[in-house]
């Protein structure tokens, strides 16, 4: 290999934590070409299978290598409506499946993707392309997260009149309110929404279906409805002291902060400034809480994860090219959080005013019994921690059921909307579901993928057949 | 009766090859002795024939002699006219009397009709106890017919003509009579000069059968004899040879095209001599006859046109004149003129011929058949496939000669002399002013000026047209771009694992339903690169002319040098109005899309009507064009239109009057062009490719090249590609390939094929015109019908060659590879099951033919009762992948794994390091149980062969059947070079053919050689599935192979042109089933093991292969994937990132495979198989073989294309007598034990076992073959590669040594022949010293006589040879280390040589040193002719002026003198200083650079 892997570097921690701006340093064009050249044009590009969107990775890598950025942008957009989002936020399962990854560092696919997208924006190649003709059919998309936006754009391309309903003040869903600006500057969402509007998609914000408009009414007004409401029900911690002031759901914390950054609010409603912060949950949301807390000026930030500490290497049972569960250190972790693994919180403690003062934990061990992993507390490992603010970032348990109930849509055991990947149809004719609301909490690439796939089937439902592209089977399974 | 078509067996694919020869009296003296000598020739050629399963029935033999007038006059109960004034025939008649009388009546009626006089019939006395069981079933009743002239004054030529017409008419009437025994009827000859005695007899039985031949009153001046080796075992009496004017050793590869063109020529035949009778003799060529018989019928016709027999032979079997600048202009003109009239009947052919006046022989342009002759002082000329077939005392020999490629020789018995090639041909060529005729009439496209190119206004956009014609991004980026840039077809690697066209979900171009046929065993593929001088791709366009007339009109043609033309070239033709002979018509290949299937059908019909009208209007160049495809009109597939017009006009009797040009957007791959030519096109303009190239240049995707150059490159690349496709089936000229239809359909139904592609084989049915239209409509819809969706790609991504998610399906894809690797590495049976399920479950996405089957007729037994996996895996093998194509680590890993479980790994063709023959201290064994012998013969030594459990002769490889290979110099690192017995950094070429296998009897010979080299090893012959592979397998069984392997077309490779990866050969399901059916039908199945490979991936695959007839199973790609291969498909680039297929030391470190992984894979597969066996009720594999009743077609498949597939031919069960074994039960009888070597060994104990020097004397005959191989095997067993000390055992032979003398002879042996030797002298020489010298008593001047045959020292690795006389063609081919001195050689000398030294003290033939990358030659060139014959650009031709060279050369000549007492050597040595400047040193540049590099590296390591 002539070149080694290079990825975007970051502005130093002490600088970047002073504000909420993105802190990645884009690679120069020459470096990107070299990175494109590392792609080996594999006989079987496993990356292409590792990517839930089925991005044509070898093809855009080659275009970048040849300096044909417009061609690259075209190839990229053929499978991905919003590469500027995934180029920033995706955990890049493609890179885990990269053939180079067997014995070298994989191709920096995600950086290349982002650069293609940003170049396309900068050069003005991304412009509204309204459909040449309209079908006269109308579609309501409920929810404006990545799944909803993707479905909306695809359906609009097919010529349908699409209306997107968003209960929040602005479109974007978790992208806008869940992801801190230092990871995704909100102008990146805005410019995309502008294009979508110019292409003819109507956005109705501050309208909550099921509350402001009855879902059945909505259904009667549109030829098809696509439910993209996400998996919004947060996992809580039902232990003593959970009601104390200072035990906060991560999403509330992050959303408030994002609104303050955007100027919608003057200050963050919940501040970590001068506080000892404990973030429970070692995932991406946990990291976002860490980075935000540090920017607030927290005294200390600790991060708890109930699972044992992974290794940087792949576990044996998740060999290449499968997506491995391994120790990942996010940029936020590097900004000054201490991490604790195999730790379970038993109780929150508070003062008489009902304010949080700390929490009690116990170390846990995982044992395999009869094929399933069982959690066991380690005797004598109890510990008491001081804490002023605990942020619960333990994921989501399922979707909100209000709309489904009004429509009579069947839910699965996890309260997600039941619809198969074969056609994204719910049990109610004309009602479709996509994204986390169907799938349960997942990655942004999956959300976009679902939105695209669902759009094809909605189009088929409306027109009898569809020209919208469909990703064919071939997703690498999870092991 | 010949067997009828059943199951997958099609009788038209039977082949035959043989031994042939003649003897005559130079002065035309008649004697009875000639017959005895002739029969002696046959007996001595018996090893070139074959015997059927009954052990008694030969494949046919016969003898042609002068009419023995006196004898007939004595024995006939009726009076005979003077000799020459009557005709006689041995007539084959039905055994049933009623049918016989009918035939006799018909014959008599037609004789009478011609006014001829029936003299009488005589019963031919035969001994009916002679023929074997099989022959007896078809034995005819034979009667002699005597016919007199119409009247005394009738001229002989008119008599002959009338005999011909009468016979033809009788033949046609009887063939059409529907008699149950009509197959018995045949008139071998009806001549005033000669008579033929032939039958399905062993050579020694001919005179026992035909009692006439035992009568001493039967005398003749000449005798032509022939002994047949047929691949099938249903040979018939009538196909025994000689035929009426000739016999033939070889195979006419171009037969189909020749026959089709002959049928067209019949349209124009007119002759005053025949008058209206001419229609009655049509068709000229009767159906169902062999290639030789067909050719004979054409020879006969051309003789009737007044041409002489030598002239006819010149027309049918022309020399390679196209690129021969040394040929006289008269002869060139003759050939050029006749090339406009008749395409070559091409293929390996040695053809002895006679018209009763002259006797002679001609050899094909490649010189692929041995043809040796001797003239004796007592006045005999003996010509035969081998020398030594008639015993001649040394002092009686006047001359030993051989027939050279393209040459002819004639015995003029009137004048008592031999007329040489030059004399015969010059005189024939001067008969007419051919030069003038050609100059005045033949127009060359290159001479027509370019004109203003019209633009096509109003064409749809380029993007839409790309889409409607199904172009993908992959097509454009991976195929068109590289071809335009480099002028070569792109290379790929690994196999193909996409579905065949009929199972694909994606709309397929019609081309993809056709597979190229290729040569294996019965005829050789060619090497159009290194033997370019015998190839030609030019074509002539225009109307044909009446064959009966010798007229300049024959060459009123337009000649195109490369018929893949640019738009500008086509414009030239369109607007060429200068000559009235060329009238161009434009016909549109489009149909109204709205009318769907009917629209297409009607448009095709209309197209044919229009073409016919055009012909009637006198237009003779028809351009079929799909320009202006648009929203209303969709393109008719160009192949469909071309073939339909081609065959339709043939039926209407108008085909010969026009040529077809295809102007189409559709063709882009070489395969497409090959098909269009193969179905009748004469020129093709791929205009959309032109436009795409223009676009690519405009977009900067294709840089550094002009548009014109890129188009030229592309056209050139296609031209070369077509040459390769033709060469695969052994055809040298596009003129012969055109219209030859050398393809098999897979997935088209019979109705469609019969209508649009008549006479093409299609065996499992499939789609018809309706579905073809559906596929067009789908593409049309994509292009014109759909809404524009923004952000979509304009074209589909492709995914044929590299997996893409939305592209074509592949069996190996990210998920299956990932699961397989996880399963074998972590030993996870469940993960293997998931993998196997993904491969096996093809109900949704059809991938393979086997996917269409399901198991049925369950009869479950407990799993424990099934033989254990440890037994089953003994039948498992890994594929032939050479060390060189894959890394040492990967190669040894497979060997260790297979040895651990008792299976077999395969060395591939790269040789093997002898260290691996011994077990490691840890107990592992890296020895490959199977050692491969491929065309390059790399590393094939006595010791290598001795260490094999099985020796595999690779006749073809699934990924690129009919092609050779190449390991470029930079990849040949010192270790690989050592293993391959070659020089580091010198490139290695594997020729397309084995140069010792040009036909089935040659294969039989190589099997004998290898069996001699290792009696313990099984001999395995690897074939690739194609139609007719069953008959080839039967031939292989008769050639005594122990195992026959049928490979699927989809197997892997280190490098192959993309066309070959996909389009040549068939899936193994068809091949294995056909082989099983044919072998069982012939009762040969029990003699041979049937093996299968080709993308076997799971236990279910194995189960199906087994049920179809296989009993051993090969895996290659799957165990590689188990070892870490991730299908990068860059094996050819040396950049394999996982260390599997690379020699780069850094990359090799990345190899992570373990033997356990491969063992786990084999274990999982065997266990899966066992479960299936238990379900079906089989306890052992043997019980399971061929039990097709356990297979059924899957019922649940709903697929618009697959629905029409009919699998019943695959599942056909041959009806055979109860108890016939359908798996291998007995061993082949090789008769090795009869070799004279055992008596030598008996006497040579002191030398062999005590290393004592000794010398022995033995007589030798041409039937003593491969002498030296057995002794060498004994030496290798005891002493390994080192052998014995030099000269330990010397053996002096006297006589004519048989083929392969000194084959694989190893160190310590010195073998001398005082006499002559045949082909393959010193094949695979492994260190021995061979001396061939003229015997005592001979008065011959050695350097003017031929003393050894063709292909001497093929693949020799070390040793010496001193040859006191001239050698034949391809001397020292692929020599990599032996030293040889010879006194003259034929064409293609030192071809592909990579090492060693050759001293040639005499003339060399053409094409010297082609592909020679290493070694040195010193050529004695007193007449300064050498430089004209050696034009290889990579060769340095130097004076011998370096001191060390002088020393080397002189010492070699001295040694030659010492060994042979060569007078020439003596003369040279005596005048050394004077003679030395006449030597030229031939020093390949690549070799020079390699030696320099080695020297530098050695110096560096010493520092």
Decide: helix, strand or coil at residue B611: helix
CA dist B940 → B905, B996, B998, B1007 (Å): 17, 14, 19, 14
Do the beta carbons of residue B1089 and residue B1111 sit within 8 Å? yes
The mean per-residue pLDDT over the stretch A378-384 comes to 95
For B1128, nearest residue in chain A (alpha carbons)? A43
B494 close to A (CB below 8 A): yes
Would you say residue B2 has pLDDT above 60? no
Chain B, 808 to 847: residues with Cβ < 8 Å from chain A are 810, 812-815, 817-818, 821-822, 825-826
Distance from CA of B465 to the nearest CA of A (A): 19
The mean per-residue pLDDT over the stretch B738-751 comes to 95
**What are the tens digits of pLDDT across the range B489-501?**
998 888 899 999 9
Give the CA radius of gyration of chain A. Answer: 23
**What are the tens digits of pLDDT across the range B1148-1158?**
999 999 999 99
Q: Which residue has the higher pLDDT, B1250 or A473?
A: B1250
Do the beta carbons of residue B306 and residue B698 sit within 8 Å? no
Residues of B annotated as catalytic (active site), given as ranges: 18
| CA B1396 to centroid of chain Cα atoms | 29
Mean pLDDT comparison of B260-274, B419-433, B974-988, highest-scoring range:
B419-433
Q: pLDDT-based confidence at B233, cuts 50/70/90?
A: low
pLDDT above 90: percentage of residues in chain B: 83
Is residue B103 packed enough to be buried (19+ CB in 10 Å), middle (13-18) or exposed (0-12)?
Answer: buried
Beta strands in B115-182 (DSSP E): 117-123, 141-148
The mean per-residue pLDDT over the stretch A395-424 comes to 95
The mean per-residue pLDDT over the stretch B147-168 comes to 94
- How many separate helices (H) and strands (E) can be counted in chain A? 17, 18
Q: Which residue has the tokens 């293929």?
A: B347
Q: Can you give the three-state secondary structure of B745-808, one letter per residue?
A: EEEECHHHHHHHCCCCEEEEEEECHHHHHHHHHHHHHHHHHCCCCCCCCCCECCCCCCCCCCCC
Q: pLDDT-based confidence at A456, cuts 50/70/90?
A: very high
Dist. CA A173–CA A313, nearest whole Å:
34
Flag if A75 and B1127 touch (Cβ within 8 Å): no
pLDDT at B768: 96
The mean per-residue pLDDT over the stretch A241-262 comes to 96
Flag if A476 and B818 touch (Cβ within 8 Å): yes
pLDDT at A95: 97
pLDDT at A53: 97
Summarize chain A as % helix, strand, coil (round to 5).
35, 20, 45
Q: What is the pTM of this model?
A: 0.95
Would you say residue B386 has pLDDT above 60? yes
A165 close to B (CB below 8 A): no
Predicted complex ipTM: 0.95
Q: Which of B494, B822, B1137 sits opposite A100 (nearest CB)?
A: B1137
Which of A247-256, B360-369, B1247-1256 is predicted least confidently? B360-369
DSSP 8-state class, residue B1086: G
The mean per-residue pLDDT over the stretch A289-297 comes to 97
Would you say residue B776 has pLDDT above 50? yes
The torsion angles phi and psi of B604, rounded to 5 degrees, stand at: -65, -45
pLDDT at B736: 92
The torsion angles phi and psi of B1112, rounded to 5 degrees, stand at: -135, 155
End-to-end CA distance of chain A: 30
Would you say residue B1264 has pLDDT above 90? yes
Partners of B797 on chain A (C-beta within 8 Å) are: 56, 59
Distance from CA of B1127 to the nearest CA of A (A): 5
Q: Which of B817, B818, B1150 sits opposite A103 (nearest CB)?
A: B1150
Query: In degrees, to the nearest 5, what angle opens at C-alpha B684 toward C-alphas B683 and B686?
Result: 165
Chain A, 183 to 222: residues with Cβ < 8 Å from chain B are none
> B374 has which bridge partners?
B382, B400
Partners of B821 on chain A (C-beta within 8 Å) are: 319
Q: Which of B815, B822, B1127 sits opposite A49 (nearest CB)?
A: B815
Long-range CB contacts for residues B1288-1291, cutoff 8 Å, separation at least 24: B1288/B1247, B1288/B1251, B1288/B1252, B1288/B1253, B1288/B1254, B1289/B1244, B1289/B1247, B1289/B1248, B1289/B1253, B1289/B1254, B1289/B1255, B1289/B1256, B1290/B1253, B1290/B1254, B1290/B1255, B1290/B1256, B1291/B1240, B1291/B1244, B1291/B1255, B1291/B1256, B1291/B1257, B1291/B1258
> A362 has which bridge partners?
A344
For residue B636, the tally of other CB atoms under 10 A from its CB is: 28
**What are the tens digits of pLDDT across the range B666-710?**
999 999 999 999 999 999 999 999 999 999 999 998 999 999 999
The mean per-residue pLDDT over the stretch B761-782 comes to 95
Flag if B803 and A321 touch (Cβ within 8 Å): no
Type and span of the H or E element at B673? helix B670-678
Distance from CA of A57 to the nearest CA of B (A): 10
Would you say residue B53 has pLDDT above 80? no
Is residue B273 packed enough to be buried (19+ CB in 10 Å), middle (13-18) or exposed (0-12)?
Answer: middle
Decide: helix, strand or coil at residue A430: coil
Would you say residue B167 has pLDDT above 90? yes
Do the beta carbons of residue B1019 and residue B1045 sit within 8 Å? no
Flag if A49 and B814 touch (Cβ within 8 Å): yes
Do the beta carbons of residue B740 and residue B345 sit within 8 Å? no
Distance from CA of A54 to the nearest CA of B (A): 7
The mean per-residue pLDDT over the stretch B640-645 comes to 98
| CA B80 to centroid of chain Cα atoms | 48
**What are the tens digits of pLDDT across the range A265-289?**
999 999 999 999 999 999 999 999 9
Q: Which residue has the higher pLDDT, A393 or B60?
A: A393
Query: In degrees, to the nearest 5, what angle opens at C-alpha B1141 toward C-alphas B1138 and B1142?
Result: 85
Query: In degrees, to the nearest 5, what angle opens at C-alpha A139 toward C-alphas A136 and A140?
Result: 145
Q: Alpha helices of B153-290 — where are they, by DSSP H? A: 156-175, 206-209, 255-265, 277-280
Return the closest-CA partner of residue B1005 out of B931, B933, B1080.
B933
Do the beta carbons of residue B1063 and residue B516 sit within 8 Å? yes
- Average pLDDT of chain A to the nearest whole number: 96
For A52, nearest residue in chain B (alpha carbons)? B805
Flag if A97 and B814 touch (Cβ within 8 Å): yes
Dist. CA A121–CA A28, nearest whole Å:
16
Which of A27-31, B235-239, B1229-1233, B1465-1469 is predicted least confidently? B235-239
pLDDT at B1060: 85
Dist. CA B1446–CA A359, nearest whole Å:
98
Flag if A322 and B821 touch (Cβ within 8 Å): no
DSSP 8-state class, residue B1346: B
pLDDT at B1: 39
Would you say residue B1016 has pLDDT above 70? yes
Preferred mutation among B794, B818, B959, B1131 to probe A, highest tally of A CBs within 10 A: B818
Flag if A319 and B805 touch (Cβ within 8 Å): no
The tally of CA atoms less than 13 A away on the side-chain side of residue A155 is 36
Return the closest-CA partner of residue B752 out of B639, B669, B624.
B639
Type and span of the H or E element at B412? strand B408-412
Do the beta carbons of residue B958 and residue B1333 sit within 8 Å? no
Partners of A319 on chain B (C-beta within 8 Å) are: 818, 821-822, 825-826
Q: pLDDT-based confidence at B1279, cuts 50/70/90?
A: very high
Dist. CA B207–CA B199, nearest whole Å:
11
The mean per-residue pLDDT over the stretch B12-29 comes to 85
B792 close to A (CB below 8 A): yes
Flag if A48 and B786 touch (Cβ within 8 Å): no
β-pairing verdict for B681-686 and B659-664: parallel
Would you say residue B471 has pLDDT above 90? yes
pLDDT at B234: 66
pLDDT at B232: 62
For B1133, nearest residue in chain A (alpha carbons)? A40
Contacts of B1442 (CB under 8 A, 6+ apart): none
Chain B, 428 to 487: residues with Cβ < 8 Å from chain A are 473
For A156, nearest residue in chain B (alpha carbons)? B789
Dist. CA B627–CA B573, nearest whole Å:
17
pLDDT above 70: percentage of residues in chain B: 99
B1127 close to A (CB below 8 A): yes
The mean per-residue pLDDT over the stretch B1319-1336 comes to 97
Flag if A468 and B789 touch (Cβ within 8 Å): yes
Decide: helix, strand or coil at residue B1446: helix
Do the beta carbons of residue B187 and residue B289 sit within 8 Å? no
For A474, nearest residue in chain B (alpha carbons)? B805
A321 close to B (CB below 8 A): yes
Would you say residue B55 has pLDDT above 80? no
A465 close to B (CB below 8 A): no
The torsion angles phi and psi of A451, rounded to 5 degrees, stand at: -60, -40
**What are the tens digits of pLDDT across the range A412-423?**
999 999 999 999
Do the beta carbons of residue B245 and residue B309 sit within 8 Å? yes
pLDDT at B1503: 59
pLDDT at B757: 97
């Amino acid at each position: 290999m002539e070149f080694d892997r290079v990825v975007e570097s970051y502005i130093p921690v002490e600088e970047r934590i002073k504000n909420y701006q993105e802190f990645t340093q884009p690679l120069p064009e020459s470096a990107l070409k070299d990175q494109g050249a590392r792609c080996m044009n594999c006989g079987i590009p496993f990356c292409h299978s590792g990517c839930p969107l089925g991005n044509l990775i070898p093809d855009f890598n080659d275009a970048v290598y040849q300096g044909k950025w417009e061609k690259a942008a075209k190839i990229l957009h053929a499978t991905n409506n919003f590469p500027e989002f995934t180029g920033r936020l995706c955990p890049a399962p493609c890179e885990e499946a990269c053939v180079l990854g067997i014995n070298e560092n994989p191709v920096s696919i995600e950086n290349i993707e982002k650069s293609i997208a940003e170049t396309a924006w900068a050069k003005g190649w991304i412009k509204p392309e309204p459909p040449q003709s309209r079908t006269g059919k109308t579609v309501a998309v409920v929810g404006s997260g990545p799944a909803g936006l993707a479905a909306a754009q695809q359906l609009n391309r097919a010529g349908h009149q699409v209306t997107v309903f968003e209960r929040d003040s602005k479109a974007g869903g978790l992208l806008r309110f869940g992801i801190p600006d230092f990871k995704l500057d909100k102008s990146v969402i805005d410019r995309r929404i502008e294009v979508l509007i110019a292409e003819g998609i109507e956005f109705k914000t501050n309208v909550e279906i099921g509350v402001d408009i009855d879902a059945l009414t909505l259904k009667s007004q549109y030829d098809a409805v696509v439910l993209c409401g996400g998996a919004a029900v947060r996992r809580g911690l039902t232990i003593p002291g959970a009601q104390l002031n200072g035990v906060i759901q991560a999403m509330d914390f992050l959303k408030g902060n994002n609104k303050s950054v955007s100027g919608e609010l003057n200050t963050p409603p919940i501040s970590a400034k001068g506080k000892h912060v404990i973030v429970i949950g070692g995932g991406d949301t946990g990291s976002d809480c860490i980075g935000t807390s540090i920017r607030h000026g927290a005294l200390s930030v600790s991060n708890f994860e109930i699972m044992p500490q992974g290794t940087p290497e792949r576990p044996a049972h998740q060999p290449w090219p499968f997506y491995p569960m391994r120790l990942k250190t996010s940029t936020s972790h590097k900004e000054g959080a201490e991490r604790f693994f195999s730790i379970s919180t038993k109780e929150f403690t508070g003062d008489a005013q009902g304010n949080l003062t700390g929490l009690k934990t116990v170390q846990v061990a995982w044992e395999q019994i009869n094929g399933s992993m069982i959690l066991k507390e380690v005797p004598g490992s109890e510990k008491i921690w001081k804490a002023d603010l605990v942020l619960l970032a333990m994921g989501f348990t399922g979707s909100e059921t209000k709309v489904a109930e009004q429509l009579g849509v069947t839910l699965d055991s996890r309260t997600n909307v039941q619809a198969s990947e074969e056609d994204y149809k719910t049990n109610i004719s004309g009602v479709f579901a996509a994204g986390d609301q169907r799938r349960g909490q997942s990655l942004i690439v999956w959300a976009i993928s679902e939105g695209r796939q669902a759009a094809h089937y909605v189009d088929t439902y409306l027109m009898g057949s569809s020209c919208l592209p469909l990703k064919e089977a071939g997703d690498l399974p999870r092991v | 009766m010949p067997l009828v078509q059943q199951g997958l067996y099609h009788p038209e694919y039977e082949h035959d090859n043989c031994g042939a020869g003649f003897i005559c009296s130079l002065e035309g003296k008649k004697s009875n002795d000639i017959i005895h000598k002739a029969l002696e020739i046959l007996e001595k050629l018996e090893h070139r024939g074959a015997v059927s399963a009954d052990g008694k029935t030969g494949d046919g033999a016969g003898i042609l002699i002068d009419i023995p007038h006196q004898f007939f006059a004595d024995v006939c109960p009726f009076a005979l006219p003077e000799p020459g004034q009557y005709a006689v025939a041995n007539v084959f008649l039905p055994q049933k009397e009623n049918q016989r009388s009918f035939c006799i009546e018909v014959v008599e009626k037609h004789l009478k009709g011609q006014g001829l006089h029936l003299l009488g019939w005589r019963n031919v006395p035969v001994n009916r106890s002679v023929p074997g069981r099989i022959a007896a079933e078809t034995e005819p009743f034979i009667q002699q017919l005597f016919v007199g002239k119409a009247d005394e004054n009738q001229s002989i030529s008119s008599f002959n003509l009338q005999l011909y017409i009468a016979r033809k008419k009788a033949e046609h009437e009887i063939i059409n009579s529907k008699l149950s025994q009509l197959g018995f009827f045949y008139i071998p000859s009806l001549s005033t000069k000669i008579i033929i005695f032939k039958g399905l007899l062993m050579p020694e039985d001919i005179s026992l059968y035909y009692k006439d031949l035992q009568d001493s009153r039967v005398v003749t001046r000449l005798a032509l004899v022939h002994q047949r080796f047929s691949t099938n075992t249903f040979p018939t009496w009538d196909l025994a040879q000689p035929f009426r004017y000739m016999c033939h050793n070889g195979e006419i590869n171009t037969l189909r095209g020749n026959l089709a063109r002959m049928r067209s020529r019949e349209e124009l035949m007119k002759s005053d001599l025949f008058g209206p009778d001419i229609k009655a003799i049509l068709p000229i060529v009767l159906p169902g006859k062999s290639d030789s018989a067909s050719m004979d019928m054409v020879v006969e016709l051309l003789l009737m046109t007044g041409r002489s027999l030598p002239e006819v032979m010149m027309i049918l079997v022309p020399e390679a004149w196209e690129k021969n600048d040394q040929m006289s202009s008269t002869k060139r003109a003759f050939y050029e003129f006749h090339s406009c009239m008749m395409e070559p009947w091409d293929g390996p052919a040695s053809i002895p011929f006679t018209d009763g006046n002259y006797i002679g022989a001609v050899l094909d342009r490649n010189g692929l058949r041995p043809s040796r002759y001797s003239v004796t002082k007592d006045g005999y000329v003996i010509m035969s496939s081998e020398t030594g077939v008639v015993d001649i005392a040394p002092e009686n020999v006047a001359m030993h000669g051989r027939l050279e490629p393209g040459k002819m020789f004639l015995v003029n018995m009137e004048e008592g002399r031999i007329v040489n090639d030059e004399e015969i041909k010059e005189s024939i060529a001067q008969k007419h002013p051919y030069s003038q005729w050609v100059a005045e009439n033949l127009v060359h496209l290159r001479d027509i000026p370019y004109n203003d190119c019209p633009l096509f206004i109003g064409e749809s956009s380029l993007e839409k047209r790309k889409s409607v014609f199904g172009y993908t991004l992959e097509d454009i980026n991976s195929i068109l771009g590289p071809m335009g840039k480099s002028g070569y077809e792109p290379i790929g690697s690994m196999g193909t694992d996409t579905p065949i066209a009929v199972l694909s979900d994606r709309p397929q171009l019609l081309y993809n339903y056709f597979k190229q046929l290729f040569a294996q065993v019965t005829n050789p593929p060619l090497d159009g690169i290194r033997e370019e001088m015998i190839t030609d791709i030019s074509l002539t366009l225009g109307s044909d002319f009446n064959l009966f007339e010798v007229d300049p009109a024959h060459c009123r043609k337009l000649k195109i040098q490369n018929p893949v033309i640019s738009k500008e070239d086509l414009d030239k033709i369109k607007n060429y109005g200068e000559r009235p002979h060329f009238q161009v018509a434009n016909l549109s290949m489009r149909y109204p899309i709205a009318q769907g299937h009917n629209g297409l059908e009607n448009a095709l019909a209309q197209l044919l009507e229009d073409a016919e009208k055009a012909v009637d209007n006198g237009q003779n160049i028809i351009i079929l064009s799909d320009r202006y495809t648009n929203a209303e009109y969709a393109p008719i597939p160009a192949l469909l239109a071309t073939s339909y017009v081609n065959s339709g006009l043939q039926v209407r009797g108008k085909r010969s009057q026009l040529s077809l040009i295809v102007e189409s957007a559709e063709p882009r791959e070489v395969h497409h062009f090959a098909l269009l030519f193969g179905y009748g096109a004469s020129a093709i303009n791929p205009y959309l490719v032109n436009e795409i190239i223009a676009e690519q240049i405009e977009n900067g995707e294709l840089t550094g090249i002009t548009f014109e150059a890129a188009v030229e490159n592309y056209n050139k690349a296609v031209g070369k590609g077509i040459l390769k496709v033709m060469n695969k089936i052994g055809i040298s000229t596009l003129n012969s390939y055109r219209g030859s239809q050398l393809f098999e359909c897979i997935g088209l139904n019979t109705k469609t094929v019969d209508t649009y592609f008549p006479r093409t084989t299609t065996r499992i049915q499939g789609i018809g015109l309706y579905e073809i239209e559906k596929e067009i409509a789908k593409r049309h819809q994509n292009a014109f019908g759909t809404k524009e969706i923004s952000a979509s790609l304009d074209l589909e991504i492709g995914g044929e060659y590299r997996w893409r998610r939305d592209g074509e399906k592949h069996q190996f894809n990210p998920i299956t590879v990932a699961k397989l690797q996880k399963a074998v590495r972590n030993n996870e049976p469940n993960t293997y099951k998931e993998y196997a399920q993904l491969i096996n479950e093809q109900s949704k996405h059809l991938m393979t033919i086997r996917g269409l089957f399901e198991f049925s007729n369950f009869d479950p037994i407990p799993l424990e009762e099934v033989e254990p996996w440890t037994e089953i895996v003994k039948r498992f093998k890994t594929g032939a992948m050479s060390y060189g194509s894959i890394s040492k680590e990967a190669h040894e890993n497979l060997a260790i794994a297979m040895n651990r479980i008792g299976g077999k790994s395969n060395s591939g063709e790269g040789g093997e390091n002898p260290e691996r023959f011994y077990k490691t201290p840890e107990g592992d064994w890296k020895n490959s149980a199977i050692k491969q012998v491929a065309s390059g013969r790399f590393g094939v030594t006595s010791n290598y062969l001795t260490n094999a459990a099985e020796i595999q002769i690779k006749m073809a490889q699934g990924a690129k059947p009919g092609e050779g290979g190449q390991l470029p110099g930079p990849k040949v690192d010192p270790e690989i070079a050592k293993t391959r017995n070659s020089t580091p950094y010198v490139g290695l070429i594997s020729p397309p053919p084995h140069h010792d296998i040009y036909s089935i009897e040659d294969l039989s010979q190589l099997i004998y050689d290898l069996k001699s080299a290792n009696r313990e090893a099984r001999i395995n012959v690897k074939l690739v599935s194609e139609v007719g592979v069953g008959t080839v397998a039967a031939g292989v069984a008769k050639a005594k192979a122990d195992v026959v392997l049928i490979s699927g077309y989809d197997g892997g490779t280190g490098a192959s042109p993309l066309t070959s990866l996909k389009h040549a050969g068939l899936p193994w399901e068809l091949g294995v089933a056909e082989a099983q059916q044919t072998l069982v039908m012939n009762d040969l199945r029990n003699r041979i093991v049937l093996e299968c490979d080709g993308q076997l991936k799971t236990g279910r695959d194995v189960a199906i292969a087994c049920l179809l007839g296989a009993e051993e199973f090969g895996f290659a790609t799957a165990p590689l994937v188990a070892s870490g291969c991730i299908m990068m498909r860059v094996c050819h680039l040396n950049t394999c990132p996982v260390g599997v297929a690379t020699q780069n030391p850094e990359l090799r470190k990345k190899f992570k495979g373990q033997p356990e992984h491969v063992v786990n894979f084999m274990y999982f597969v065997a266990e899966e198989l066992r479960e299936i066996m238990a379900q079906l009720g089989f306890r052992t594999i043997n019980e399971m073989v061929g039990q097709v009743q356990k297979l059924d077609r899957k019922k649940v498949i709903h697929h618009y294309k697959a629905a029409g597939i009919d699998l019943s031919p695959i599942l056909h069960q041959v009806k055979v007598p109860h108890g016939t074994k359908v798996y291998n039960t007995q061993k082949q009888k090789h008769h090795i034990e009869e070799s004279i070597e055992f008596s030598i060994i008996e006497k040579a104990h002191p030398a062999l076992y005590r290393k004592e020097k000794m010398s022995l004397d033995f007589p030798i005959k041409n039937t003593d073959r491969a002498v030296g191989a057995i002794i060498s095997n004994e030496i290798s067993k005891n002493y390994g590669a080192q052998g014995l000390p030099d000269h330990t055992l010397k053996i002096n032979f006297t006589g004519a040594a048989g083929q392969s003398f000194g084959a694989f002879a190893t160190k310590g042996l010195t073998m001398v022949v005082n006499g002559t030797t045949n082909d393959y002298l010193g094949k695979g020489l492994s260190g021995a010293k061979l001396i061939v010298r003229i015997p005592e008593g001979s008065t011959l001047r050695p350097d003017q006589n031929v003393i050894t045959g063709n292909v001497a020292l093929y693949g020799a690795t070390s040793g010496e040879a001193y040859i006191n006389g001239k050698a034949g063609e391809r001397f020292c081919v692929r020599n990599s280390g032996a030293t040889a001195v010879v006194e003259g050689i034929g064409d293609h000398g030192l071809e592909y040589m990579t090492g060693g030294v050759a001293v040639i003290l005499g003339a060399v033939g053409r094409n010297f040193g082609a592909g020679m990358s290493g070694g040195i030659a010193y050529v004695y060139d007193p007449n300064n002719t050498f430089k004209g014959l050696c034009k290889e650009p990579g060769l340095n031709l130097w004076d011998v002026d370096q001191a060390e060279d002088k020393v080397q050369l002189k010492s070699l000549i001295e040694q030659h003198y010492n060994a042979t007492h060569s007078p020439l050597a003596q003369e040279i040595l005596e005048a050394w200083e004077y003679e030395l400047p006449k030597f030229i040193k031939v020093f390949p540049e690549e070799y020079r650079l390699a030696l320099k590099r080695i020297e530098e590296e050695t110096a560096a390591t010493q520092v």
